[in-house]
Amino acid sequence: MEPNSIRRALLLSAALGGWSIGPAAAQAQSPSQKSTVPVRGGTLYAIVQPEPTVLTSTTNNNYPNGVVSANIYDGLLTYDESLNPQPGLATKWAVSADGKTITFHLRPGVKWHDGQPFTSADVKFSALEVWKKIHSRGRITFAPLDDVLTPDAHTAVFKLKSPSLVIFSALNAVESQILPRHLYEGTDIYANPHNLRPVGTGPFRFKEWRKGQYIELERNPDYWDAGKPYLDRLIFRVIPDAASRAAALETGDAWYAPFDAVPQADVQRLRGHPELEVTTRGYDWQSQYVFLEFNLRHPALAKTEVRQAFAHAIDKQALVDTVWYGLGKPATGPVPSTLRKFYTTQDVPQYAFDPAQAERLLDQAGYPRGEGGVRLTLWQDYQPFNETFKNNAEFIRQNLKRVGVDIKVRSQDLASFVKRVYTDYDFDIETGQWSPYLDPQIGVIRQYWSQSIAKGVPWTNASGYANPELDRLIEAVQVQADPARRVALFQQFQRIVQTDLPVLPLFEIHHFTVHNKRLHGLSRAPDGAFSSLKNAWIQT
C-alpha cells in the first residue's frame, strides 16, 4: 500500500471512529417548557450501580468505574455524534505519510486538580506505562506503540512499529485516561491511593467517597473548557435495591441513571412517567453483547461438542424476550451487527435452538444421562452488575437442565467475581456482558488471543483458549494497513471462533438511561453514557 494511501486510510478510520433538586423543584415548571439557556449551579443526584471498585478505568474498566471517572479525567480526544474525533486534551493532530508517526499538539494551560501543570510527560507515562502495560484492552490497542517522544511540554509524538487503524477509536476520557505522572511514577499503579482519591484534569474534582452510600464530585473552577461545567456538584448515589432505585427516579430523589440502573421490567412504566425520559442513546461506542464463556481447563468443557451442545440448548430469542423484555437481539458471533464494516454471517457457524441436537452432541462427547437424568454438574458465575444478570443466569440454568446439565448458580460481589474468574480461574462457565467498541481490535480479540491470558487482569481471556492459527490472524490484523484486507481478516476471525466456540455470544444488548426531563445537556455522542456531565444543567 502506498504511503499516501496508508495515511488516507488512517484518517478515514479516525473519522469513523447551589440548586438541590427534589420533588418540590420538579413542580416549578412543566417538562414541556424547555429553556435553551443553560442554568448554572445546582447538585445533580445520579445513580451508579453497582458501586465502583476504583475511580479510574485504567486499572479496572468496569463500567461503573468509567461512569464516575470520566467526569474526573480527560482524554486526548472526544467524539461527536458521527464518531468523528474532536479535540480534548489534544487540540490538533497529524499522521505521517507512512502511518507510523502521530503527532498530538496538547492544550496549553491545563492543570491537574492539585495545581500541577499537565504536560506531554503525563501523556508519555500514561501511554507507555499504563495503557500499554496494564489496561486490559490497551495492551492490545497500543501494542504497535513503540515510544512517545516529548520534544516540548505541549507536543507528544507517538512512534508506531506499524500503522495502526484502531488507535483513534480509543482516545476518549474513559478508554484512555491520562494519569498524573507526578503521582503515579515509581509506584505500584494497581495499589496507588489515587485510584481511590483521584486527581485528574477533568470538569469535576473528587471530594468524598462514602463506601456503600455515595461518591461526591465538585466543580473544577480551573477547568480548561471556559464556563464549564454548569453544575456545582455531582453526587453518585449507591442504591443496592432495584425497587429503591426506580422509586428514587420516580420521586425526584435521583435525576440521572445510566446503564440499566432499574430492572427491564420497569422500563415501560417509567416511559409513561410525565417527568422521566428513557433513552438508548449513548451506547453505540461500546456495542455490547451478553455472552457465556467456558473454562477450557475443565475436561468436559474442553470438548468442542460439549460447547456446541450448550449453544443449541439455549433459546436466545426467548432469553431476550423473557429476561431482558425485548431489549436486545440474538447474536450471530462476537462482532455485533452494529459494527457494519466488520460484521458478517457468511460461512460463520450458527447454532439454532435445538435441544435434541444438544442431547446428541453430549452423547457423542461421552456424557450420557446418568442418575436422575444428569450428564454434568457445573458452576455458573455471573457478572453481578444488576438483578437482570442473575435472572439471565437462572434462565440459562433452566435451559441446560432440559438437556441433562445441572448448573449451580453462584452469587458474589463484583470484586469476588473478578478474582474468581480472572485471577484464580476457579469457574466452569461465566456469563455477563462484553464490549467490542468501535473496532473489534479494541474489545473483541482480547477474549480470544492467547497473549491476552493475563492472570489478575480483568476482562481478558479467562477461558484459556489458545489457537495458533487464530493468534497468527490476530497478529496480522494488528499491523494490517489496508482497510479491505483488515476487514477480510476480521471476517475470518468470526468463522474460526464460532467454530471453536470458547465463548458463546448470546445476544446484542440494548442499554438504556433514565433521566429527568428537566436535566439538559446530556451527551448524544455514541459514547455519551461514558461522557462527562460538563454540559449538563438543571432546568429550575
pLDDT for position 23: 32
Confidence tier at 275 by pLDDT (50, 70, 90): very high
Confidence tier at 191 by pLDDT (50, 70, 90): very high
Least confident range from 146-155, 230-239, 347-356, 524-533: namely: 524-533
Q: Which three cell numbers stand for residue 30?
A: 412543566
Q: Which of 27, 132, 182 is nearest to 518 (CA)?
A: 27
Confidence tier at 165 by pLDDT (50, 70, 90): confident
User: What is the C-alpha separation between 93 and 144, in angstroms, rounded?
Assistant: 18
Start-to-end CA distance of the chain, whole Å, equals 57
pTM (two decimals) = 0.78
Domain boundaries for CATH 3.90.76.10 within the chain: 73-181
- Architecture per CATH, domain 73-181, reads as Alpha-Beta Complex (3.90)
Is the pLDDT reported for residue 146 higher than 50? yes
Cβ atoms of 76 and 90 within 8 Å: the answer is yes
For residues 76-86, one letter each, b for 16 or more C-beta atoms within 10 angstroms of the residue's C-beta and e for the rest, the string is: bbbbeeebebe
DSSP track, 164-176: -SSGGGS-STTTS
Domain boundaries for CATH 3.40.190.10 within the chain: 204-283+512-538
Cβ burial of 429 (10 Å; 0-12, 13-18, 19+) is: buried
Cβ atoms of 330 and 316 within 8 Å: the answer is yes
Superfamily of domain covering 204-283+512-538 = Periplasmic binding protein-like II (3.40.190.10)
> What mean pLDDT do residues 56-85 have?
92
pLDDT in tens, 455-503: 999 999 999 999 999 999 999 998 888 889 999 999 999 999 999 999 9
Residues in contact with 352: Cβ distance below 8 Å, sequence separation at least 6, in sequence order: 312
Confidence tier at 29 by pLDDT (50, 70, 90): very low
Instruction: Return the number of other C-beta atoms located less than 10 Å from residue 24's C-beta.
Output: 9
User: What is the C-alpha separation between 298 and 306, in angstroms, rounded?
Assistant: 11
User: What is the C-alpha separation between 176 and 40, in angstroms, rounded?
Assistant: 29
Tell me the Cα Rg of the chain: 23
User: What is the C-alpha separation between 339 and 327, in angstroms, rounded?
Assistant: 18
Q: Which three cell numbers stand for residue 379?
A: 458452576
Cβ burial of 334 (10 Å; 0-12, 13-18, 19+) is: buried
Q: Which three cell numbers stand for residue 54?
A: 476504583
Is the pLDDT reported for residue 342 higher than 50? yes
**194-199: long-range pairs with CB below 8 Å, 24+:** 194/56, 195/54, 195/55, 195/56, 195/59, 196/54, 196/55, 197/55, 198/55, 198/56, 198/69, 198/72, 198/73, 199/112, 199/113, 199/114
Higher pLDDT, 401 or 135: 401
User: What is the C-alpha separation between 47 and 32, in angstroms, rounded?
Assistant: 24
Per DSSP bridges, beta strands 405-410 and 101-106 are unpaired
Residues in contact with 470: Cβ distance below 8 Å, sequence separation at least 6, in sequence order: 448, 449, 493, 496, 497, 500
Q: Which of 169, 151, 147, 150 is nearest to 160 (CA)?
A: 147
Cβ atoms of 158 and 167 within 8 Å: the answer is yes
Cβ atoms of 402 and 369 within 8 Å: the answer is no
Confidence tier at 540 by pLDDT (50, 70, 90): confident
Average pLDDT, the chain: 92
pLDDT for position 62: 86
Is the pLDDT reported for residue 1 higher than 50? no
Is the pLDDT reported for residue 316 higher than 60? yes
Number of separate helices (H) and strands (E) present in the chain: 16, 21
Residue with cell 433521566: 515
3-class DSSP assignment, residue 153: coil
Instruction: Return the number of other C-beta atoms located less than 10 Å from residue 254's C-beta.
Output: 26
- Fold of domain 286-509: Dipeptide-binding Protein; domain 3 (3.10.105)
> What mean pLDDT do residues 364-381 have?
97
User: What is the C-alpha separation between 387 and 377, in angstroms, rounded?
Assistant: 24
User: What is the C-alpha separation between 151 and 506, in angstroms, rounded?
Assistant: 48
User: What is the C-alpha separation between 508 and 320, in angstroms, rounded?
Assistant: 9
Confidence tier at 35 by pLDDT (50, 70, 90): low
Confidence tier at 24 by pLDDT (50, 70, 90): very low
Q: Which three cell numbers stand for residue 393?
A: 443466569
User: What is the C-alpha separation between 180 and 112, in angstroms, rounded?
Assistant: 7
Least confident range from 42-56, 81-95, 321-335, 352-366: namely: 81-95
Amino acid occupying residue 11: L
Is the pLDDT reported for residue 4 higher than 50? no
Confidence tier at 5 by pLDDT (50, 70, 90): very low
Domain boundaries for CATH 3.10.105.10 within the chain: 286-509
Running DSSP on this structure, what letter comes out for residue 504?
Answer: E
Beta bridge partners of 209: 215
